[in-house]
Structure 1
Amino acid sequence: MSIQTNHYTGGPDPRYVFTMADRIQKAIRDAGLKKEDVAERLGVHSNTIGNWVNGRSMPKGFYLKQLALMTQHDADWLATGKIPEDANMRIPD
Structure 2
Amino acid sequence: MNQDMVGAFMQSLRKEQGMTQKDLAERIGVSDKTISKWENGNSMPDTSILLSLCKELDISVNELLACEKIPPEEYSKKAEVNMMKLIRENQEQRRNGRAQVILGCLVLIVLVVLSFLSIGANLAIYVDAPAVLFLLIGLLGVALLSGASTWGERLHAFRVMVIPIGALESLISCVTVFQNVDMQGETVGPCLAVVSLSLLYALGAYILFYILEMRLQKR
The answer to whether 1:46 aligns with 2:52 is no
Query: 1:26 Cα shift?
Result: 1.1
Give the gaps of 5 or more residues in structure 1.
Answer: 1-17, 88-93
Paired position in structure 1 for 2:167? none
Note closer, same or farther for the CA distance 1:82–1:26 as it changes in structure 2 (3 Å cut): closer
CA deviations 1:51-71 (Å, max 9, x no partner) are 011111111322221111011
Q: CA RMSD in A?
A: 2.2
Say whether the 8 Å CA contact 2:25–2:31 is kept in structure 1. yes
- CA distance in 2 between counterparts of 1:82 and 1:23 reads 7
Paired position in structure 2 for 1:55? 41
Secondary structure of residue in 1 paired with 2:72 = coil
Note closer, same or farther for the CA distance 1:29–1:82 as it changes in structure 2 (3 Å cut): closer
Say whether the 8 Å CA contact 2:10–2:39 is kept in structure 1. yes
Say whether the 8 Å CA contact 2:9–2:68 is kept in structure 1. no
Say whether the 8 Å CA contact 1:20–1:79 is kept in structure 2. yes
Paired position in structure 2 for 1:72? 58
Query: 1:50 Cα shift?
Result: 0.5
Query: 1:74 Cα shift?
Result: 2.1
Note closer, same or farther for the CA distance 1:75–1:32 as it changes in structure 2 (3 Å cut): same
Which residue identity is paired with 2:36?
G
Say whether the 8 Å CA contact 1:74–1:84 is kept in structure 2. no
Question: How do residues 16-55 of structure 1 correspond to structure 2 at under 5 angstroms?
Answer: 19-55=5-41
Matched-pair identity in %: 27
Higher relative contact order (Cα pairs below 8 Å, separated by 6+ residues): 1
Give the gaps of 5 or more residues in structure 2.
Answer: 74-219
Query: 1:83 Cα shift?
Result: 4.5
TM-score of the two chains, using structure 1 as the length reference = 0.65
Say whether the 8 Å CA contact 1:28–1:71 is kept in structure 2. yes
TM-score of the two chains, using structure 2 as the length reference = 0.30
Secondary structure of residue in 1 paired with 2:23 = helix
Which residue identity is paired with 1:86?
P
Which residue identity is paired with 1:33?
M
Which structure dedicates a bigger proportion of its chain to helix? Answer: 2
CA deviations 1:25-75 (Å, max 9, x no partner) are 111111111100111111111100000111111113222211110111222
